[in-house]
Amino acid sequence: MHFRWTALLALVSALGGCAAKQEQPATMARARELMASAEGKRGDLVLRCEPEDAEVLLDGVQQGTCSDFSGVSRSLRLGEAGFHQVEVKKRGFWPYTTYYEPSGARVTLKVKLRPVTPEASGGAP
């Protein structure tokens, strides 16, 4: 009787092993597909700002100043898919906010902040 159970367990294990081996290539292919699509969603933003020392925030988190992301080899890297909020601001200037969805390309964003004047804000000099 013990022999039959051992043989049955061996048969079930062998069949289960074959099924798992057959599924593995499909799983691996799906993982590669997901990784490739995620890589395609990355993007780099080169920032050209006036003034150059304006502060840069990505999704509300300070990243540095515009000059940190203005060179040929320097850019703001966006690694996650979906829309990201990019804000450029400096005291004495109106802030600039935009939304960017990475497309896998390197994009240059030109921002010219406008100074806040007493006339524009309605305040006294």
Q: What value, to the nearest 5°, has the Cα angle with vertex 74 and ends 62 and 49? A: 65
* Strand (E) or helix (H) holding 68: none
Do both 76 and 105 map to the same domain?
yes
Could you give the CA distance from residue 77 to residue 27 in angstroms, rounded to a whole number? 30
Do both 81 and 22 map to the same domain?
no
pTM score of the predicted model: 0.59
Can you give the residue range of the structural domain that contains 8? 1-40
**50 part of a folded domain:** yes
Do both 33 and 88 map to the same domain?
no
What are the pLDDT digits (tens) for 103-120?
A: 888 888 999 999 998 655
Could you give the CA distance from residue 116 to residue 108 in angstroms, rounded to a whole number? 25
Do both 19 and 73 map to the same domain?
no
Count of domains observed in the chain: 2
What are the pLDDT digits (tens) for 67-107?
A: 998 877 778 887 777 889 999 999 999 999 999 888 888 88
Do both 29 and 59 map to the same domain?
no
Could you give the CA distance from residue 67 to residue 58 in angstroms, rounded to a whole number? 15
Do both 23 and 74 map to the same domain?
no
Confidence of residue 5 (pLDDT cuts 50, 70, 90): very low
Do both 47 and 106 map to the same domain?
yes
What's 112's domain CATH number? 2.60.40.1120
Do both 21 and 1 map to the same domain?
yes
Count the neighbouring beta carbons within 10 Å of the beta carbon of residue 97. 10
